[in-house]
């Protein structure tokens, strides 16, 4: 047995009075019962939803039909909407990304990844709703990199805490997608979003727990050590993440909802349903603590970002 530390389950009855989390794995992934997301949420419910996200890292809701405005508001419970990525946007809510795959647009995100880790300040989390499901398949898996860290030996934990890694969108499918829009779209993204470096081990400011922050989708290399050692360590970690003890496998129902802590989880969207239609509506949200600094940065680069967005979206 890899983990010799005794499990201490979260005391749900003591901690929660307004919602009911139902764990799917020990201290990871939980259904949330007793919340109607189509109605305004009280402050006590919002507070407990945030606590549930910090406790369980990914939370699920049974199908509820949300308007784009309600979806954005739900994400806002956890933090202000972020800029998101390169996907198309909902015409009624620009914060809402439309990730649509069908016969002419085969799935391209079937890899383990943490959303947008290639930014200096990645989004804190993500709220999605699958509004159209295929006849079968199209499931999503999540892993807890918190649990992955906690199951490592103390010596390995200590070693990883000395390392940093480079993250970039250039090694993902985004590069091909942007290239199809023309050289200027690709060059604009290259200018705006250069590779960034993050510590391999980070601490969640809300849960207080440490987690591993590398992913096969966007992590290019570990810096400061021989490349053979770096490559070997990444291969080990990517394989280590796949232990079933760290994972929840979620089968979608139409209009089902999931929200996850983007810092300490990774996910994999299965691509076993092509050529059938699957529609994912997504809002990523930022850490409210970063908003003040971000607002200062926005003023400094607003003109460049507006020009880049126009090139990337064709707007």
Supply the residues annotated as catalytic: 113, 115, 267, 282
Q: Are strands 265-269 and 140-144 parallel, antiparallel or unpaired?
A: antiparallel
In angstroms, the CA 147 to CA 127 distance is: 22
In angstroms, the CA 127 to CA 39 distance is: 17
Cα distance from N-terminal residue to C-terminal residue, the chain: 55
Contact 262, 284 (CB under 8 A): yes
In angstroms, the CA 29 to CA 10 distance is: 12
Q: Which strands, in side-by-side order, build the sheet including 265-269?
A: 247-250, 140-144, 265-269
Hunting for tokens 């490592």 — which residue is that?
152
């Amino acid at each position: 047995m890899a983990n010799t530390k005794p499990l201490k389950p979260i005391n749900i009855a003591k901690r929660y009075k307004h919602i009911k989390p139902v764990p799917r794995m020990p201290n990871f992934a939980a259904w949330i019962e007793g919340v109607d997301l189509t109605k305004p949420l009280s402050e006590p419910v919002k507070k407990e939803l945030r606590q549930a996200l910090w406790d369980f890292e990914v939370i699920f809701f049974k199908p509820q039909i949300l308007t784009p405005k309600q979806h954005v508001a739900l994400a806002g419970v956890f933090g202000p909407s972020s800029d998101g990525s390169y996907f198309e946007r909902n015409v009624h809510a620009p914060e809402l990304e439309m990730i649509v795959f069908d016969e002419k647009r085969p799935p391209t995100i079937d890899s383990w990844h943490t959303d947008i880790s290639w930014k200096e300040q990645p989004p804190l989390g993500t709220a999605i709703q699958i509004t159209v499901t295929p006849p079968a398949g199209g499931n999503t898996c999540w892993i807890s990199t918190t649990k992955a860290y906690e199951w490592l030996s103390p010596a390995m934990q200590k070693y990883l805490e000395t390392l940093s890694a480079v993250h970039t969108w250039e090694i993902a499918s985004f590069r091909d997608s942007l290239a199809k829009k023309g050289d200027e779209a690709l060059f604009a993204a290259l200018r705006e979003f250069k590779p960034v470096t993050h510590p391999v081990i980070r601490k969640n400011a809300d849960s207080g727990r440490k987690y591993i922050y590398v992913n096969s989708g966007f992590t290019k290399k570990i810096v400061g050590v021989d490349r053979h050692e770096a490559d070997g360590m990444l291969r080990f970690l990517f394989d280590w993440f796949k232990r079933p003890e760290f994972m929840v496998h979620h089968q979608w129902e139409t209009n089902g909802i999931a929200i996850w802590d983007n810092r300490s989880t990774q996910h994999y969207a299965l691509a076993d349903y092509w050529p059938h239609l699957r529609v994912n509506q997504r809002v990523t949200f930022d850490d409210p603590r970063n908003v003040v600094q971000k607002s200062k940065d926005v003023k400094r680069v607003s003109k460049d970002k507006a020009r880049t967005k126009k090139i990337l979206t064709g707007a």
